[in-house]
Structure 1
Amino acid sequence: MAREEVNRSLDAGALKGLAHPLRVRIYDILSQYGAQTASSLAELLGESTGSTSYHLRALAAHDLIREVAGRGTGRERWWERPRGSVTISTPESMRTPSGRAASQIVLTETYRQRHEQLMRFIDATMRSRADEPPAAELATVNARLTQAQFEEVSSAISDIIGSAVQKYRDQQGDDVRPYLIRLDMFPIDSRALGATDGEVE
């Protein structure tokens, strides 16, 4: 039976509950690798079990994670992140200085971790003696778009990614491994480079 999927926009309380570097890391691990215990997280993060237990309870208090029903014991509880998308920066969260500060902590830590994962992958690939590197797609392109064109391209890419996630989400097998799919698409300001409008090649 498929688990329920809930798409959620974080309110101010949940956002502030997540706005701690270690909580963001725990949340990320649960998102990418599935259910964990305080002990397994402590080992992965180099933290004490007491510390990971504390932060798991804080995340659970804001319904960001939940205990896995029917798994574990009273002493060894398993935790998971509910399935579905999570929107961090919302109009509500950006209305107040505290909301903007919490959004910045969560976004900065999330993308710092993503960048570190990418750098570790590149480093491991370059150091590997394997004849064929692991399957990956790393590409950066530049485009000149209107707002309407940006929305069209963004929607098309999101549809492709969403379709793939739904199709392969529960796939199991010896050759199946977690993949991180990233989309970075944002305007760049040529004036930041000392050029005037229209001078970008």
Structure 2
Amino acid sequence: MSTHDEPEPESDIAARVEVHHANDRVLDAPALRALAHPLRVKIYDILSQYGPQTASSLAERLGESTGSTSYHLRALARQDLIRERPGQGSGRERWWERPAGGITMSAAGAAKTPAARAVTQLVTGEFFRLRQQALLDFHDQAIGEEDDQWQDASLISTATARLTPAQSAELTHRIMAVIDETVERYRNQEGEDVRPVTIRADVFPLPEIGGVS
């Protein structure tokens, strides 16, 4: 019997995911404080999802002045959250990019004080708000504007299972392995039909309800 059809052991998947994210940046308190502004979170998000931008292109997209976006870009760059793209742009037009790789915002060491926890909650809350708004915008647009091909290729789904912590961890590792492989393979893909696609994954326990075991 061929072993190619056998599922990969969970220990191997977990190890592969751990290695893949071993170099993820853990944002410290100064980096989180630099992000603790709604416009900076939006700028960071655009650079993450759409690639390099200039202060002018960001200003046009966000409805802000070029002076404002330039100021916030410099603030993000001081904490190495973004960097100037080498070999692109000329004169006063500078291109900025977000370095490749994952980040972690909820490290225990970065939230030891009430002030640090408040900053962490502000930044993560704004990121979640932007993600939710993007989902709602797609839903509204897909009803009458998005073409059938992209509607058929998209997924918005919610399911519930009753799991132990170990089983939840196994599910998380499997999902992350698929996401990591896809991002690694297609990170820089270009082509006529290529668009940025956001990949969402939420796995978390629901609150306990009295009388339900």
Q: Same fold (TM over 0.5)?
A: yes
- The within-5 A match list for 1:170-181 is 170-181=188-199
Aligned to 1:150: 168
Q: In the superposition, relative to structure 1, how do residues 126 and 147 fare at CA in structure 2: closer, same or farther (>3 Å)? A: same
Partner of 2:5: none
Offset from partner CA, 1:2-43 (integer Å, 9 cap, x none): xxxx52110111111111111000000000000000000000
Aligned to 2:17: none
Residue type at the aligned position of 1:14:
A
Indicate if the aligned counterparts of 2:82 and 2:97 stay in contact, CA closer than 8 A. yes
* Structure-2 separation of matches of 1:175 and 1:186: 34
Q: How many residues align?
A: 191
Greater than 4 Å deviation, 4+ residue runs: 129-133
Structure 2, unpaired ranges of 5+: 1-22
Q: Deviations over 1:119-167 (max 9, x none)?
A: 0111011123855553201110001111111111111111111011111
Report what 2:14 is aligned to.
none
Quote the Cα distance in structure 1 between the aligned partners of 2:147 and 2:97: 35
Q: CA deviation at 1:190?
A: 3.3
Identical-residue share of aligned pairs (%): 54
Q: More relative contact order in 1 or in 2 (CA 8 Å, sep 6+)?
A: 2
Q: What CA RMSD, in Å, does the superposition of the two structures yield over aligned residues?
A: 1.6
- Relative to 1, partners in 2 of residues 1:163 and 1:133: Cα closer, same or farther, differing over 3 Å? closer
- For normalisation by structure 2, the TM-score amounts to 0.85
User: Whole-Å Cα distance in 2 between the matches of residues 132 and 23 of structure 1?
Assistant: 33
Residue in structure 1 matched with residue 183 of structure 2 by the alignment:
165
SS at match of 1:79: strand
1:23 paired with 2:40, answer yes
TM-score, normalised with respect to structure 1 = 0.90
Structure 1 residues 142 and 58: CA distance shift in structure 2, 3 A? same
Equivalent residues in 2 for 1:1-201, closer than 5 Å? 7-128=24-145, 130=147, 134=151, 135-191=153-209, 195-198=210-213
Task: Encode CA deviations 1:158-198: one digit per residue, 9 max, x unaligned.
Answer: 1111011111111110011110000011111133xxx3231
